[in-house]
Amino acid sequence: MPLLKKEKVLTKKSLLLKVSSFCAYQERTQDEVRNRLYSYGADEDLTEELIAELITENFINEERFAKTYAGSKFRLKKWGRNRIVKELENKGISPYCIKKGLEEIDANDYTRTLKALLDKKDEEEKEVNLYKRKYKLSLYVIRKGYEPELVWDVINELFS
């Protein structure tokens, strides 16, 4: 006969301790914390109460999350603004926080990174037809989230 696993009932204090260490490890959104609390078996009222407490104690700060997320995705993965905005929206971040997050990206660095991505891709591209080559380069960086107007300005500048 298999042993039945006893469900461990967590108290409010132990839940707060667990979820605060979860938040202290790295920046989290309210949705991530909410999902974690539900996975621990917390009900909706307790979850919202704990989230309010975590916000008050500054364990959860969505503006700070957006700034960290936008800056790191741009610097590490070379994502463009459009991709970053979409990902933040998918995480349930407010438009105000998204705007604040995008302020972390310096305009000169942004253009410089776009040019570097295009240069690198241009070296790898085997297409000889100039129009197809430009099209392939543009698709590559637009998929990474760069704005089409800016992409075409930079491509035209590179091939002029």
Read off the pLDDT of residues 72-98 as tens digits, 9 standing for 90 and up: 999 999 999 999 999 999 999 999 999
Computed over every residue of the chain, the mean pLDDT equals 92
- Three-state secondary structure along 53-114? HHHHCCCCCHHHHHHHHHHHHHHHHCCCHHHHHHHHHHCCCCHHHHHHHHCCCCHHHHHHHH
Q: Which residues 6+ apart lie within 8 Å of 146 measured at CB?
A: 80, 81, 82, 114
Q: pLDDT by residue (tens digit) across 13-22? A: 999 999 999 9
Residue 92: what residue type?
G
Give the whole-angstrom CA distance, residue 124 versus residue 133.
Answer: 11
10 pLDDT exceeds 90?
Answer: no
pLDDT of 6: 46
Cα(85)–Cα(90) distance, integer angstroms: 9
Indicate if the pLDDT at residue 8 is higher than 70: no
pLDDT attached to residue 38: 93
Q: How many CA atoms lie within 13 A of 106 on its CB side?
A: 5
Q: Considering the entire predicted model, what is its pTM?
A: 0.86
Average pLDDT over residues 117-124: 94
Say what the pLDDT of residue 78 is. Answer: 96
Q: How high is the pLDDT of residue 160?
A: 81
The domains of the chain are located at 12-56, 62-102, 107-158
Coil vs helix vs strand at 48: helix
